[in-house]
């Protein structure tokens, strides 16, 4: 019996329509029809062909591993990188990020430019004042006699002392500013660490089947950040709940796109789908969430306490 026929008969024996399978697996109906007909050329690459067949098998009560082994000669040889093209991950990040994301990225650059401007202005001010003192001394020497030369020398020494004192005060002020800035950065770092330590995330429900879904409960927090790191190419999808708004489109991402970060503060549920678990690391406020079972494809439903 061919693979497509096996899956179709299993679906019909369960009383499921293609629309039911589409709702459960989120796989488009035309791909499900192609799988039942054995027309894998319609599917978007061998990676998706194998992933979609596993999900279909799990949805109709069959063992994905047994199906993949039994029909390995009928399936594509091995997962390959999908031919799906995407201009840049940056485009999806800009679409999914809040409207103020661009300002957050350029804010450090603005601060750096302002600091450089202040330093240049301060240097110009002190150099101008020093040059002005030298010009005054030269003018007094040209217009005065020998007695004034001694006074000019004293005045020059006084001017030099004043300039030295001003330079010293400027250096002290700069050192004090740098110390305050360093202390502020350390305080900010400590606050971030405290926030990360305050987060409690626990897997409260472990899924089963070929594409298991696990529930992760997170303690109440004002700020919550999601980070996804990739060591290799993997299919990813992130939504506001299983049927909510898409935050990260369902395509393949690679090492060049890593890390992918999202601010999910205020969200009650986050749905994460990974097509290749060994290459995927998921963190909440810097805390790593471990995949609880040994499966290539897994899902997380993150619930934030109210």
CB 301 within 8 A of CB 271: yes
The predicted pLDDT at position 168 comes to 58
As a whole-number percent, the residues of the chain with pLDDT over 70 amount to 70
180 and 145 in a common domain: yes
Three-state SS for 131-175 is HHHHHHHHHHHHHCCHHHHHHHHHHHHHHHHHHHHHHHHHHHHHH
Classify residue 77: in a domain, yes or no: no
pLDDT (tens digit per residue) in 198-219:
788 889 999 998 899 999 999 8
274 and 208 in a common domain: yes
**φ, ψ for residue 217, nearest 5 deg:** -100, 130
Number of domains in the chain: 3
Three-state SS for 55-70 is HHHHHCCCCHHHHHHH
pLDDT (tens digit per residue) in 55-94:
999 999 999 999 889 988 887 765 544 444 334 344 444 5
CB 299 within 8 A of CB 211: yes
Is the per-residue pLDDT at 106 higher than 70? yes
**Rounded average pLDDT over 183-203:** 61
Domain boundary among 181, 198, 215: 198
pLDDT (tens digit per residue) in 215-262:
999 987 888 999 999 999 998 999 998 999 999 998 999 999 999 999
Structural domain boundaries enclosing 22 = 3-70
Domain boundary among 145, 174, 198: 198
pLDDT (tens digit per residue) in 162-173:
555 655 565 565
């Amino acid at each position: 019996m061919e693979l497509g026929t096996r899956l179709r008969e299993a679906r019909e024996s369960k009383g499921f329509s293609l629309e039911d399978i589409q709702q459960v697996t989120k796989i488009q109906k035309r791909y499900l029809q192609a799988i039942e007909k054995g027309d894998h050329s319609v599917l978007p690459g061998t990676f998706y062909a194998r992933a979609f067949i596993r999900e279909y098998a799990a949805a109709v009560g069959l063992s994905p591993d047994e199906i993949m082994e039994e029909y390995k000669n009928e399936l594509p040889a091995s997962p390959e990188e999908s031919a799906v093209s995407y201009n840049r991950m940056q485009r999806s990040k800009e679409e999914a990020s809040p409207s103020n994301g661009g300002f957050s990225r350029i804010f450090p650059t603005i601060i750096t430019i302002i600091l450089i401007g202040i330093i240049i202005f301060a240097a110009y001010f002190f150099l101008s004042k020093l040059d002005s003192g030298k010009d005054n001394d030269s003018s007094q020497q040209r217009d005065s006699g020998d007695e004034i030369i001694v006074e000019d020398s004293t005045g020059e020494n006084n001017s030099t002392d004043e300039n030295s004192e001003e330079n010293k005060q400027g250096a002290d002020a700069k050192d004090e500013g740098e110390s305050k800035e360093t202390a502020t950065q350390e305080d900010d770092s400590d606050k971030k660490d405290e926030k990360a330590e305050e987060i409690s995330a626990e897997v409260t429900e472990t899924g089963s089947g070929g594409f298991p879904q696990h529930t992760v409960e997170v303690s109440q927090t004002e700020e919550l950040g999601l980070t996804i790191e990739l060591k290799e190419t993997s299919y990813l999808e992130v939504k506001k709940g299983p049927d909510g708004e898409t935050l990260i489109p369902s395509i393949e991402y690679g090492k060049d796109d890593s890390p992918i970060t999202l601010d999910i503060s205020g969200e009650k549920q986050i749905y994460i789908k990974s097509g290749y678990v060994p290459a995927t690391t998921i963190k909440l406020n810097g805390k790593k969430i471990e995949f609880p079972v040994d499966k290539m494809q897994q899902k997380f439903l993150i619930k934030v306490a109210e």
